[in-house]
Chain A
Amino acid sequence: MQESGLRLRLGAILLTLLALVTYFFLLPERMSTDLSARSLWSVSLMEAPDLAEGGSRIAFSAGPRYGYFSSDGQVFFVAEHPGGAQISDTSYILPSSSGGFSLFSAEGEERAVLVGTGPFFSAGRAFSGSRDGMTVNSFDSYGSLQWSYSFPSQLSAFDASSSLVVGGTVDGILEGVAMDGTRAFSFAPGGSRLDVVLGVAVSPSGDRVAAMTGIDSQRLVVLGRGGGDYRVISHRYLESNYREPTRLAFLQDERYILYRRSDGVGVWGIDGNCDEILPVAAQDFSVAYDPAYDVAYLVALNGGMSTLVAFRPPARILGKVSLPDATMYINIIGSSVYFGNATTVSRLDFVEE
Chain B
Amino acid sequence: MKRPILLVPAVFILVMGLVAFEWPVDPSSLRFNFGFSGGSFKRGSELGVPDAVISAPADGDLVFACDAPRLPGGYPLPDGSLAAISHDSGMMSIYTGIQPGSLSSYMGAVRTGDPIGVAPQAVSGRFVSFYVYDSREKRFVNPFILLPKMGDDKPPVIRSITFRSGKDEIQLDRGVSVRQGAWLLVIDASDMSPMGLPSAPFELRVVIDGSERFHTVYDAAWASSGESHLFSAQAVPEKDFFLADGRAGFGPVSLTRGTMMLTVIVTDFSGNKREVTYSIQVQ
Residues of A within 8 A of B (CB): 86, 117-118, 120-122, 127-134, 136, 147-160, 167, 170-173, 175, 177, 181-183, 186, 194-196, 198-200, 215, 243-247, 284
Contacts and interface: CB of A to CB of B under 8 A. Distances in A.
A181 B225 CA distance: 10
Contact of A150 (B44, B69, B131, B227): B227
Given A155-B75, A160-B73, A170 B40 contact: no
Interface string B186-226: 00000000000000000000000000000000000011111
A196 B74 contact: no
Nearest to A249: B72
Contacts of A246: 72
A153 B94 contact: yes
Contact of B72 (A130, A171, A199): A199
B23 interface: no
A151 B84 contact: no
B226 A130 contact: no
B234 interface: no
A215 B108 CA distance: 10
B82 A156 contact: yes
User: Interface residues of B: mostly helix, strand, loop or mixed?
Assistant: strand
B96 interface: yes
29 contacts: A118-B69, A118-B75, A120-B70, A120-B74, A129-B75, A129-B76, A132-B40, A132-B42, A133-B82, A150-B228, A152-B222, A153-B131, A154-B94, A154-B96, A158-B75, A159-B73, A170-B63, A170-B84, A171-B92, A171-B133, A171-B135, A175-B226, A182-B225, A194-B86, A195-B63, A196-B63, A243-B64, A243-B105, A245-B68
B226 A183 contact: yes
B74 A127 contact: yes
Given A130-B78, A151-B226, A284-B72, 18 more contacts: A120-B70, A129-B76, A132-B43, A133-B82, A133-B96, A149-B226, A152-B223, A153-B131, A154-B96, A154-B131, A156-B64, A156-B84, A170-B64, A181-B226, A194-B61, A196-B63, A244-B66, A245-B68
B92 A170 contact: yes
Given A156-B64, A196-B64, A243-B62, A132 B96 contact: yes
Nearest to B75: A158
Contacts of A159: 72-73
Interface size on B, as a range, is: 35 or more
Nearest to A242: B64
Contact of A243 (B77, B108, B133, B138): B108
B82 A170 contact: yes
Given A150-B228, A158-B73, A132 B63 contact: no
